[in-house]
Structure 1
Amino acid sequence: MILNYHFFINFEHKGDVMKTILRMTHQREVILDEMGKCKGHPTADVLYERIKKKLPRISLATVYRNLEILSEAGMIRKLEISGRQKRFDRLLDQHHHIYCVQCHRVDNLKVETVSPDSAAEIGYRISGCRIEFFGICPECQKKNNSRHEDSNEECRVTGPAKLNGKLNERQREVLKVLNGCCGTCSGRDIATAISLEPEKVSCQLTALKKKGLIASPARCRYEITAAGREVL
């Protein structure tokens, strides 16, 4: 898996955080319930679409506001992925996240946390830590591999067919001679085999070489390529 990662630590001088009593409203209960049913890490927009089926009169702004309140109260985690919409997580245990740059899914990731010793040495008290991993998820890798295979298959099937339509009769004769040779042939050998003037054979060889149907491993020596055999 290809990974690019960025590491951030937020350092702030703060006193001890005092726990506050949060009033659990019906709206917040529904939000927490829907978050528990969601797979992955939903955005506020995704949650809003689910919640409004139960609370038709609720607004997107209200969902946003309650998510922020629940996050500040420590009942959910807010994920602020650089350059992306905020997402929310019901899991409160220590873990990090990895973001797929193609389909934008977010998965949990267990990694060792960074030691706070370096921050303590310069007098900071750590109030939070965020590590961001970016990569390509397994499903997107499969899709990428499938597209690559389809592209290769298309080239294999349609490539020679198109070339075959552009070949003239003399070029096909040259390919047949080279296909029957054991090793390489000279232009003069080919000219003799098809009863054609060497100068005219040279022109056909140049055209076939540009199309990738023959190769010249040595000076004035030629051999048919795999693409050339497919044309025949």
Structure 2
Amino acid sequence: MQERNTRQRQIVARLIQEAGHPLTVREILDLGQRQMSGLGIATVYRTVKRLLDAGELQAVVIPGDTVRYETVKHHHHHFKCNRCDRVFDLDGCIKELKSMVPRGFKVENHELTFYGYCRSCA
């Protein structure tokens, strides 16, 4: 049985896509309720799960922090502001990271997060 693509689900998907940075479920809900006051947390969670299962979203996991979600993009890293707690996308990857891996090891994936103060908070 195929799930209906309701207006609420469309709003959630569009918010994540247009955000330009990873969002928490709470941020998605707050932004979504500005456009549709009846949007509920359960709908946000169901929509995020559906988009994850469909491969349209990826989770951004920062140790000790709330999981955030963003649309699937090319490989990139993140910057987390220590003051406002926002997370920003950083384009690209440092190629020299591979040289840090011991001989004979095979890297399958890596995550790199920078911490500091964003332009607004600096």
Q: Do both share a fold (TM > 0.5)?
A: yes
Instruction: Give the residue type in structure 2 aligned to 1:106.
Output: V
Contact kept? 1:101, 1:134, Cα under 8 Å? no
SS at 1:83 equivalent: coil
Greater helix content? 1
Q: Cα–Cα, structure 1 residues 33 and 136, in superposed 2: closer, same or farther, change >3 Å?
A: same
Contact kept? 2:55, 2:72, Cα under 8 Å? no
- Deviations for 1:46-79, whole angstroms, at most 9, x for unmatched residues? 1112223444333212212221221232112211
Larger of the two Rg values belongs to structure:
1
Correspondence list, 1:193-208, <5 A = none
Q: Which residue of 1 aligns with 2:69?
A: 88
Q: Which residue of 1 aligns with 2:88?
A: 107
| Number of residue equivalences | 113
- Structure 1 position 39, deviation (Å): 4.3
Q: Which residue of 1 aligns with 2:23?
A: 42
**Inter-partner Cα distance in structure 1 for 2:75 and 2:4:** 25
**Inter-partner Cα distance in structure 1 for 2:33 and 2:81:** 28
| Residue 73 (str. 1) matches residue 54 (str. 2) | yes
Contact kept? 2:60, 2:69, Cα under 8 Å? yes
**Inter-partner Cα distance in structure 2 for 1:103 and 1:56:** 25
- Structure 1 position 23, deviation (Å): 4.7
Instruction: Give the residue type in structure 2 aligned to 1:51.
Output: G
- TM-score, normalised on structure 1? 0.41
Q: Which residue of 1 aligns with 2:105?
A: 118
Higher relative contact order, chain-length normalized (CA < 8 Å, sep 6+): 2
SS at 2:13 equivalent: helix
- Deviations for 1:117-175, whole angstroms, at most 9, x for unmatched residues? 7237xxxxx4xx3413232135233xxxxxxxxxxxxxxxxxxxxxxxxxxxxxxxxxx
Aligned match for 1:131, one of 104, 111, 116 = 111
**Inter-partner Cα distance in structure 2 for 1:29 and 1:134:** 32
User: CA-atom RMSD, angstroms?
Assistant: 2.8
Instruction: Give the residue type in structure 2 aligned to 1:131.
Output: E
Show structure 1 runs of 5+ residues with no match: 1-21, 121-125, 142-232
Instruction: Give the residue type in structure 2 aligned to 1:111.
Output: C
Q: Percent identity over the alignment? A: 21
Correspondence list, 1:1-232, <5 A = 23=3, 25-26=5-6, 27-109=8-90, 110-112=92-94, 118-119=105-106, 126=108, 129-139=109-119, 140-141=121-122
Q: Cα–Cα, structure 1 residues 59 and 130, in superposed 2: closer, same or farther, change >3 Å?
A: farther
Show structure 2 runs of 5+ residues with no match: none
SS at 1:40 equivalent: coil
**Inter-partner Cα distance in structure 2 for 1:132 and 1:102:** 19
Q: Cα–Cα, structure 1 residues 53 and 107, in superposed 2: closer, same or farther, change >3 Å?
A: closer
Instruction: Give the residue type in structure 1 aligned to 2:81.
Output: C
4+ runs deviating over 4 angstroms: 113-117
Instruction: Give the residue type in structure 2 aligned to 1:133.
Output: T
Q: Cα–Cα, structure 1 residues 108 and 39, in superposed 2: closer, same or farther, change >3 Å?
A: closer
Instruction: Give the residue type in structure 2 aligned to 1:103.
Output: C
Contact kept? 1:96, 1:130, Cα under 8 Å? no
